[in-house]
Amino acid sequence: MPLCYLAAAALLLLGTAVAPCGAQVVVTIEEACRMAASGGAGGVSYDHCVASLASDARSRDAADLHHLAALATRIAVEHAAATEAKIEDLGEVEESPHARARLHHCLDLYNAAADVLRDALDNLHARVYGKASQQLAAALGAAESCEDVWKGEEHVPVAAHDREYGRMALVALGLTSGIA
């Protein structure tokens, strides 16, 4: 067996996706999510990771950890954009100036998070995994910070969006950390 394949097999067992010969190690969604859930990112739900990636048609073209991490990051960008749209819609009909100010603050947080996620995606494409991991970790704070704005209120109007965004951003971080 050529040394390249032995090294690739060893790297797969260690949870790394890049083989030393330049070849990508093929990884299933389940294997990638298992690595992310047991990795250093903490809090990655294996079931959510598998369900989110497997339900996206683009995952058929993602056969290695690099492409799955990029896909998870794209999905997180899409969740951030959907949350921005939801917040904008809520802000247009909200009558309370205090609630509108809270929504505006959340909108600013998600605008910034979407920008950071896009930068992380650029770094993933360039295979600068350490920087991408740092950016993904920074983008995680949007959901929690938005929730903090609503502390003490009975109803958080974007709670479901915050939760889904946070979970997907964490999956992207977990997968990217498995490469870095």
Read off the pLDDT of residues 93-123 as tens digits, 9 standing for 90 and up. Answer: 999 999 999 999 999 999 999 999 999 999 9
Q: Is the domain covering 29-178 a CATH 3.20.20.70 domain?
A: no
Q: Does this model's pTM top 0.75?
A: yes
Q: Is the alpha carbon torsion for 9, 11, 17, 20 positive or negative?
A: negative
| Spans of all domains in the chain | 29-178
The set of residues, in sequence order, having a beta carbon less than 8 Å from that of 152 and lying 6+ positions away, is none
pLDDT single digits (tens) 120-146:
999 999 999 999 999 999 999 898 999
Using a pLDDT cut of 70, give the percent of the chain over it: 86
pLDDT at position 29 is: 94
How far apart CA 26 and CA 152 sit, in angstroms, is: 47
Put residue 83 in one of left, alpha, beta given phi > 0 → left and psi -120 to 50 → alpha. alpha
Question: Phi first, then psi: what are they for 18, rounded to 5°?
Answer: -110, 120
Instruction: Considering only residues 85 and 11, tell me which one the structure prediction assigns the higher pLDDT.
Output: 85
